[in-house]
DNA sequence: AAGTGGTCTAGACCACTCT
DNA sequence: GAGTGGTCTAGACCACTTG
C-alpha cells in the first residue's frame, strides 16, 4: 500500500490537524483496514506516514482512545477495540443469589419474522425486512430473573437462524463476534418502568401486572449501524442503578 | 506568598510529574487558595512557579479539568469550577407538562432534628448531630410531581434554618452557594423503585401503594464532604433514563 | 535487545477574549 | 495590543512487553 497516500492532514476546514488525523484514522478503521483486536502501526510510523510530528499523531490517537475506537497498551501497541465487555444487564439488577455470577441463559423461542414498524425504525432497516426474533430467559441460582426479547437483522445474523441452540453461549456478544463477525461497540440503554404482561409474568414466576423495570437496548457496531434491539424485563424491586453526576 | 514554595514536583513515588503537580494544585484549590469561580494564575506562570516545562503544567491542568475541578476557557483563563448546574432531577422523569420548564418548589416542612443513624452515616457526621430536614414538593404545570425529603448538616446550613421561606429559590444549589457558600461539586444518584406511603401519596395526589421511582442523592463539595442527602420520589410511570455504554 | 507507548522539555506560532 | 489557552514541532529519555 502506498505510504504517501495519507498526507497534508488539515483536509477539513476549521479542524485542528490532530482532529482531522483522528478522523482519517477512524475512517481507515471503519473501512476495515485493521480488524477488531489487531494492532495499528506504531505511532512513530503513523506519524511519518502522515508526515506530522510524533506529538500530533499522539494527540490524534489519544482522541480515538477516548472515543473508544482504539485501545493503547504501554509496551505492546495500539489496537482496534474489541466488542463491549461489561455490557451485562446485571448492572441494573441486584438479586440475592451469588454476585459476579454469569446468569444461565435459556432460549425459549427463535423465529424469523418480518420486522414490525417500531423495530425496523430502531434497527434502521425497511419495514417488514426479515429479522431474527429471540425470547430468552436468564436464570440465577436456578431462579428465572430476567426475560428478554431480541431482534437481530437477519442479513447479519443468518448463520444463527437455524443452528443448534445448545451450542449457544450464555453471553451473546462474544458469540456474535466469533460466529458472525458482529462486534458490538456501543449501546444505548433506555430504562423505564412498566408492569408484566401475563406471559412475561409466567416466565418469571411472578403475578401478572407485577411492577417491572424495563431496559430497551439498542446496540451499534463500529460503523454506527444498529445491530441489536433488546428489551429486558425484571422485577422492579430488584432494580438499582447509580449515576455519577459531575 | 512565596513563589518558591512549590518546587521539585515528583514528591509522590510512582507518580508522573504532571500527576503529582495536579495533586498539588488540587490541594491548593481545596485549601481555598482560589475560591470557586475565580481564576488560577496563567499556565505559564504556574509552570515557572513550579519550575516545570509549560507542556507538563498543561497536562496537569488538563487532568484537573477532566476531573471537574477546574474549567479552562480559551482566551480567558483557568477557573475553579462553580457548583453543579445540570443536576436537575428532571433528568430522571418525563412529565407531559412543558419541557425545559423549571419546576416550582414548595417547602412543606422545615425542622431541626437529630440525624437518624442512616442519615448521619451518609452525611459522615455523628449519630444524633443536628441536621436541617426539609420536605419539599415540586410542581409542573400546577400539578405536584415530585416529593422530596432533604437532610442538610446544620453546621453548614444554620443561616437557612430560620429565615423567611418565601425568599427561597426554586433551585437550591445556586442558593446554597450564595447564602451559605456551599458549592455542590459532585453527586451520586442511587435509583430504585418502591411504593408510595400514604402520606407521600397524598402529597402527589396518587393512591397509597402506587409504584414510584426513588432517587437517593448524596451531594459532595470540593473537599469531598457530603453536604446533602436527598430522597426524591415520583410516579414510576413517568420515570425514564438513558445510559450510554462504551 | 528491540520495539512499543508514556513523559518531559523548549520554543514557535495560532486563536480567542477583553479593553 | 496584551494576555490567555490551544496547536504543533523536534528531539531526549523513561517504562513496559516480548523474544
Q: How confident is the model at residue B5 (pLDDT cuts 50, 70, 90)?
A: very low
Q: Do A99 and A48 share a domain, yes or no?
A: no
Interchain contact, A243 vs B191, CB within 8 Å: yes
Q: Do A115 and A70 share a domain, yes or no?
A: no
Q: Do A168 and A223 share a domain, yes or no?
A: yes
Q: A160, exposed or middle or buried, with CB in 10 Å at 0-12, 13-18, 19+?
A: buried
Q: How many helices (H) and strands (E) does chain A have?
A: 7, 9
Q: Does B187 touch chain A (CB under 8 A)?
A: yes
Total number of domains in chain B: 2
Query: Minimal Cα–Cα distance from A192 to chain B, Å?
Result: 5
Grid cell 409542573 — which residue?
B140
Residue A158 corresponds to which cell in the numbers above? 443468518
* Residue B219, strand partner residues: B187, B228
Question: What pTM, to 2 d.p., does this model score?
Answer: 0.92
Q: Do B56 and B163 share a domain, yes or no?
A: no
Residue nearest to nucleotide D5 (CA to C1'): B74
To the nearest 10°, report the CA torsion of A150, A154, A160, A161: 90
Q: Does A175 touch chain B (CB under 8 A)?
A: no
Angstrom distance, A44 CA to C2 C1'? 15
Has residue B2 been placed in a domain?
no
* Strand B226-235 relative to strand B211-220, pairing: antiparallel
Reply yes or no on whether the pLDDT at A147 is more than 90. yes
Q: Do A186 and A73 share a domain, yes or no?
A: no
Q: Which whole number is the average pLDDT over A200-229?
A: 97
Reply yes or no on whether the pLDDT at B79 is more than 50. yes
At A232, is the secondary structure helix, strand, or coil? Answer: strand
Contact pairs from chain A to chain B, CB under 8 Å? 77
Which among A209, A246, A113, A129 has a CA at the least distance from the CA of B184? A246
Q: Number of C-alpha atoms within 13 angstroms, CB side, residue A25?
A: 29
Distances (CA, A) of A59 to A23, A35, A74, B60, B163: 12, 22, 16, 16, 53
Has residue B194 been placed in a domain?
yes
Residue where a domain stops, chosen among B51, B80, B109 = B80
Residue where a domain stops, chosen among B55, B80, B105 = B80
pLDDT at res. B85: 75
Has residue B11 been placed in a domain?
no
| Helix boundaries (H) for chain A | 17-30, 43-49, 54-66, 117-123, 154-157, 172-180, 198-204
Q: Do A144 and A76 share a domain, yes or no?
A: no
| Helix boundaries (H) for chain B | 17-30, 43-49, 54-66, 117-123, 154-157, 172-180, 198-204
User: B80 — phi, psi (to 5°)?
Assistant: -70, 130
What CATH number corresponds to the domain at position B146? Answer: 3.40.1410.10
CA distance B44 to B180: 34
Has residue A10 been placed in a domain?
no
Reply yes or no on whether the pLDDT at B42 is more than 90. yes
Residue B226 corresponds to which cell in the numbers above? 457530603
* Residue B235, strand partner residues: B212
Q: Do B45 and B97 share a domain, yes or no?
A: no
Q: Which residues of B touch A68 (CB under 8 A)?
A: 246
Across chain A, what does the average pLDDT equal?
Answer: 93
Residue B178 corresponds to which cell in the numbers above? 450564595
Q: Do A66 and A131 share a domain, yes or no?
A: no
Q: Do B169 and B221 share a domain, yes or no?
A: yes
Q: Pick the residue with more confidence: A205 or A99?
A: A205
pLDDT at res. B28: 94
Q: Which whole number is the average pLDDT over A174-200?
A: 96
Q: Does B192 touch chain A (CB under 8 A)?
A: yes
Residue B136 corresponds to which cell in the numbers above? 419539599
Interchain contact, B241 vs A191, CB within 8 Å: yes
Identify the helix (H) or strand (E) that includes residue A145: strand A143-153
Query: Minimal Cα–Cα distance from A228 to chain B, Å?
Result: 14
Reply yes or no on whether the pLDDT at B147 is more than 50. yes
What CATH number corresponds to the domain at position A40? Answer: 1.10.10.10
Q: Which residues, including other chains, have CB under 8 Å from residue A32's CB and lie 6 or more apart? A: none
Q: Do B74 and B94 share a domain, yes or no?
A: no
Has residue A4 been placed in a domain?
no
Has residue B1 been placed in a domain?
no
Has residue A66 been placed in a domain?
yes
Q: Do B218 and B197 share a domain, yes or no?
A: yes
Q: Do B104 and B226 share a domain, yes or no?
A: yes
Task: Give residue A56's domain range.
Answer: 17-80
Angstrom distance, A192 CA to C3 C1'? 50
Q: How confident is the model at residue A121 (pLDDT cuts 50, 70, 90)?
A: very high
Reply yes or no on whether the pLDDT at B3 is more than 50. no
Residues A154 and A229: beta-carbon distance below 8 Å: no
Residue where a domain stops, chosen among B46, B80, B114 = B80
Q: What is the pLDDT of residues B81-131, one digit of tens each?
A: 998 876 789 999 999 866 667 899 999 999 999 999 999 999 999 999 999
Residues across chain B: 246
In angstroms, the first-to-last Cα distance of chain B is: 45
Has residue B245 been placed in a domain?
no
Amino acid at each position: 500500500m502506498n505510504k504517501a497516500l495519507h498526507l497534508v492532514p488539515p483536509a477539513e476546514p476549521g479542524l485542528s490537524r490532530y482532529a482531522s488525523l483522528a478522523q482519517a484514522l477512524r475512517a481507515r478503521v471503519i473501512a476495515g483496514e485493521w480488524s477488531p483486536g489487531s494492532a495499528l502501526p506504531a505511532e512513530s510510523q503513523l506519524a511519518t506516514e502522515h508526515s506530522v510530528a510524533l506529538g500530533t499523531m499522539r494527540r490524534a490517537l489519544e482522541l480515538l482512545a477516548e472515543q473508544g475506537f482504539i485501545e493503547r497498551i504501554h509496551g505492546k501497541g495500539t489496537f482496534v477495540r474489541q466488542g463491549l465487555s461489561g455490557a451485562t444487564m446485571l448492572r441494573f439488577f441486584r438479586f440475592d443469589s451469588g454476585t459476579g455470577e454469569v446468569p444461565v441463559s435459556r432460549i425459549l423461542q427463535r423465529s424469523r419474522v418480518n420486522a414490525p414498524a417500531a423495530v425496523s425504525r430502531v434497527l434502521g432497516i425497511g419495514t417488514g425486512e426479515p429479522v431474527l426474533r429471540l425470547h430468552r430467559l436468564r436464570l440465577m441460582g436456578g431462579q428465572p430473573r430476567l426475560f428478554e426479547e431480541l431482534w437481530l437483522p437477519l442479513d447479519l445474523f443468518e448463520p444463527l437462524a437455524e443452528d443448534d441452540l445448545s451450542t449457544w453461549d450464555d453471553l451473546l456478544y462474544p458469540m456474535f463476534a466469533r460466529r458472525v463477525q458482529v462486534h458490538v461497540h456501543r449501546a444505548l440503554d433506555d430504562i423505564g418502568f412498566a408492569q408484566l404482561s401475563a406471559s412475561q409474568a409466567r416466565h418469571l414466576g411472578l403475578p401478572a401486572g407485577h411492577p417491572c423495570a424495563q431496559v430497551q437496548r439498542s446496540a451499534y457496531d463500529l460503523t454506527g449501524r444498529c445491530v441489536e434491539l433488546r428489551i429486558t424485563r425484571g422485577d422492579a424491586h430488584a432494580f438499582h442503578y447509580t449515576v455519577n453526576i459531575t
